[in-house]
Amino acid sequence: MQHTRFMPSWPWLPGLLFSLCSTLAPAAVLELDPATEARPAIAWTTERLAAHPEAQEIQIPNDVSYRRPMQYRAVPLAVVLADLGLQRTDTLEAVALDGFVAQLPGALLLPTRAGAPRPWLAFEPPDAAWPALPGKTASAGPFYLVWPDARGIRSEQWPYALARLGSKASPGARWPQINVAASVPAGDPRRQGQAVFMAQCLVCHKINGGGESTLGPDLNQPMSPVAYFQPQALRRLIRNPAQVRTWPGQAMPGFAPDQISDTELDQLLAYLGHMAQDGARQGRLPAAR
Ligand code: HEC
């Protein structure tokens, strides 16, 4: 009988190893980075969230990251935003463990309209780990921003594996080089394209050096993708990167029409095209060599 060889001669060993591992496992911490020095930087742990009176079990009918219905322990995000002192005019910067950085408008997170979608902060209980995300080895934990009602919420507005939340100025104020030229009228496709870019692309890509994430390349420096992709190929790449080129480490997600409509895709390309010209004209880009 082969397996008798593997009978432990110290029956207490697995128990000891288990308790060692659980003591060594770092407690999950979500750091809060307030806008002003007047407010102390604080941190929420899974334990503190679990003990919060507003913590409850919530249902997510259409989980963007798991692509199926999910159930979580969660608190209303507003609980944590209050600690952060975040106002509707501020931007919440949500930094993930993998370098993804979402910039979420305060007005979206703290809606005043009755019945508007409201975000929750789900936390992964240490004794009930979440499954791995589709195609990944890690779960969406330890902290994940979710929307029970996701009407009008974009796919990149569900940041997961959160490590830090900060209260910041809007991306356009922080990084003026990401803005369309002031002469571009309100409602212009190029301006609307910038809004799509800020919600769906800035989370991984900088543009003209503006932005916080370096997961993907800068999309205007040193060269804009509109300069080396045929428009049709660029559209395809945004819809499904693997249709243009593919390799094992490929990391960019595709965007289906329910996340970026055909019209918005045109607006996005108009924005990128404008930045390619405008960046050069305004001396925002290094001169071409
Ligand atoms: C979750 C992160 C992520 C998001 C969101 C994302 N990208 Fe990417 N993107 C990447 C990464 C990483 C690469 C590098 C190739 C790869 O690993 O897939 C890339 C590559 C690209 C490229 C190809 C650049 C080249 O020269 O090959 C383009 C163009 C691009 N992204 C545009 C966009 C646009 C436009 C959006 C928004 C609609 C977007 N990306 C959203 C991560 C992302």
Tell which atom from ligand 1 comes closest to the C-alpha of 203. Answer: 5
Whether residue 72 is predicted with pLDDT greater than 50 in this model: the reply is yes
User: CA torsion, points 252, 254, 259, 264, in degrees to nearest 10?
Assistant: 90
In the predicted structure, residue 19 carries a pLDDT above the cut 60: no
For residue range 87-102, list pLDDT tens digits in order.
999 999 999 999 999 9
Integer Cα distance of 219 and 201 in angstroms = 9
Cβ < 6 A, ligand 1 pocket: 100, 156, 200-201, 203-205, 215-217, 219, 225, 237-238, 241, 250-253, 255, 268
User: How buried is residue 223: exposed, middle or buried, by Cβ count under 10 Å (0-12/13-18/19+)?
Assistant: middle
Q: What is the pLDDT of residue 24?
A: 47
- Whole-number Å distance, alpha carbon 220 to ligand 1 midpoint, is 12
Which one, of 177, 64, 156, 142, lies nearest residue 103 by Cα?
156
Give the model's pLDDT for residue 7.
45
159 contacts: CB under 8 Å, gap ≥ 6:
94, 96, 100, 102, 104, 144, 145, 203
Q: What is the Å distance from ligand 1's center to 144 Cα?
A: 22
**Tokens of residue 237, six digits:** 């790449």
Instruction: Report which of 29, 18, 70, 46 is spatially closest to residue 124, judged by C-alpha positions.
Output: 46
**How far does the centroid of ligand 1 lie from the alpha carbon of residue 56, in Å?**
36
How high is the pLDDT of residue 221?
95
Token duo for residue 203? 């989370």
Rounded to the nearest whole angstrom, what is the distance from the C-alpha of residue 101 to the centroid of ligand 1? Answer: 14
